[in-house]
């Protein structure tokens, strides 16, 4: 209709390996009239999507440009090495970067670990994606170091992984443009930080707009008037003791 405003929506971008499902469920319970749309983005394009207004906030991998974006760190992932299931590394519960010295270590173009120096021997060519690199691991071409969530995302029956205990790690954060900190962004921040529905900063829209008079009415109505006290005897009025009649002289 002419002059009518579009209903509010919230768009959440998320990178591969991120699992926003729990927060989305809480959002749907608290704000059922505000649809939340999930937008899958690569780690490399997440910043551009947020900067260009393609999403209101995003679950991204750090670092982000702090001159443009605000960010709340959520967690840091364990780095693992993905190997064929019959690889010698599978005999250990965990491995170190030094254990990969004689291995061909694949380095995909969408790598999110940010190595200062890649361990092991470099491959002749860098795979385009992590998914491509996992296929090369399955073919016995090399091994791959990734955050654990990506190893799970690209799981195959013919590969497995072990923790790489001294490798750099990838951190995940909730991020949004500093100049676009809206009420809905604040609502999602409250959910991510575990604020309850009754929290001052984590209220639903309905609670935030509820008149104060209405919220105060119910406790007032439940009060019962106290019994009136006799100022002389301390008992309720009408229940005091009668004094002895005076004798007439």
In a domain, 228, yes or no: no
Phi-psi region of 61 (alpha: psi -120 to 50; beta: other; left: phi over 0): beta
- Count: domains in the chain: 2
Residues 50 and 95 in one domain: no
Q: Are residues 116 and 177 in the same domain?
A: no
Q: Give the pLDDT confidence score for residue 220 in this predicted structure.
A: 45
What's the mean pLDDT in 99-127?
A: 94
Q: Are 90 and 150 within one domain?
A: yes
Q: Are 35 and 17 within one domain?
A: yes
Residue 228: CB atoms within 10 A of its CB come to 9
Note whether 83 and 158 are same-domain residues: yes
pLDDT tops 70 at residue 172: yes
- Whether the per-residue pLDDT at 124 is higher than 70: the answer is yes
Single residue among 130, 163, 196 that ends a domain in this structure: 163
243 within some domain? no
Residue 197: the pLDDT is 78
Determine, yes or no, domain membership for 149.
yes
Say yes or no: 107 and 152 in one domain: yes
- Distance, in Å, from the CA atom of 108 to the CA atom of 83, rounded to the nearest integer, reads 15
Q: What is the pLDDT of residue 240?
A: 46
Query: Which pTM does this prediction carry?
Result: 0.77
Instruction: Please write the tens of the pLDDT for every residue from 147-169.
Output: 999 999 999 999 999 999 999 99
Structural domain includes residue 147: yes
The two three-digit tokens of residue 230, written as one number: 């006799």
- If asked whether residues 191 and 88 sit together in one domain, one would say no
Q: Are residues 88 and 67 part of one domain?
A: no
Residue 56 domain boundaries:
10-76+171-208
Pairing of the two strands 57-61 and 79-84: unpaired
User: Are the C-beta atoms of 89 and 143 separated by less than 8 Å?
Assistant: yes
- Could you tell me which residues come within 8 angstroms of residue 109 by beta carbon, excluding any fewer than 6 positions away? 126, 127, 128, 129
Quote the pLDDT of residue 218: 45
Beta bridge partners of 93: none
- Same domain? 61 vs 131: no
pLDDT in tens, 192-238: 999 987 764 544 444 443 443 444 444 444 445 555 554 444 444 44
Lowest mean pLDDT among 98-112, 184-198, 229-243: 229-243
Mean pLDDT of the chain: 85
Query: Does the residue 69 lie in any domain?
Result: yes
- The answer to whether the CB of 95 falls within 8 A of the CB of 89 is yes
**91 has pLDDT over 60:** yes
In the prediction, which pLDDT does 7 show? 78
Per-residue pLDDT averaged across 238-247, rounded? 49
Same domain, 140 and 32: no
CATH number of the domain where residue 142 is located: 3.40.190.10
pLDDT at 215: 43
Least confident of 35-39, 130-134, 213-217: 213-217
Residue 238 burial (10 A CB sphere; 0-12, 13-18, 19+): exposed
Does 185 fall in a domain?
yes
Let me know whether 123 and 178 are in one domain.
no
126 shares its domain with 85 = yes
Q: Is residue 68's pLDDT more than 60?
A: yes
Supply the pLDDT for residue 198.
Answer: 73
Dihedral sign, Cα of residue 115, residue 63, residue 66, residue 39? positive
For residue 202, tell me if it sits in a domain.
yes
């Amino acid at each position: 209709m002419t002059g009518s405003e579009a209903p509010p929506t919230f768009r959440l971008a998320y990178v591969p390996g991120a699992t926003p499902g729990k927060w989305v469920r809480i959002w749907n319970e608290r704000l059922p009239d505000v649809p939340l749309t999930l937008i899958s983005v690569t780690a490399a394009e997440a910043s551009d999507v947020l900067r260009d207004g393609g999403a209101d906030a995003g679950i991204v991998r750090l670092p982000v440009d702090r001159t443009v974006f605000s960010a709340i760190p959520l967690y840091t992932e364990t780095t693992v090495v993905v190997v064929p299931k019959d690889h010698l590394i599978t005999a250990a519960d965990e491995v170190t970067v030094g254990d990969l010295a004689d291995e061909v270590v694949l380095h995909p173009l969408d790598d999110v670990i940010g190595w200062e120096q890649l361990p092991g021997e470099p491959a002749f060519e860098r795979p385009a994606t992590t998914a491509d690199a996992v296929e090369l691991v399955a073919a016995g071409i090399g091994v791959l170091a990734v955050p654990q969530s990506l190893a799970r995302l690209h799981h195959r029956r013919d590969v497995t992984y072990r923790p790489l205990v001294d490798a750099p790690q990838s951190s995940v954060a909730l991020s949004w443009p500093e100049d676009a900190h809206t009420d809905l962004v604040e609502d999602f921040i409250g959910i991510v930080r575990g604020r309850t529905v009754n929290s001052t900063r984590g209220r639903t829209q309905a609670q935030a707009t509820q008149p104060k008079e209405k919220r105060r009415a119910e406790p007032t109505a439940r009060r019962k008037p106290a019994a009136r006290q006799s100022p002389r005897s301390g008992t309720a009025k009408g229940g005091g003791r009668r004094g002895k009649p005076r004798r007439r002289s």
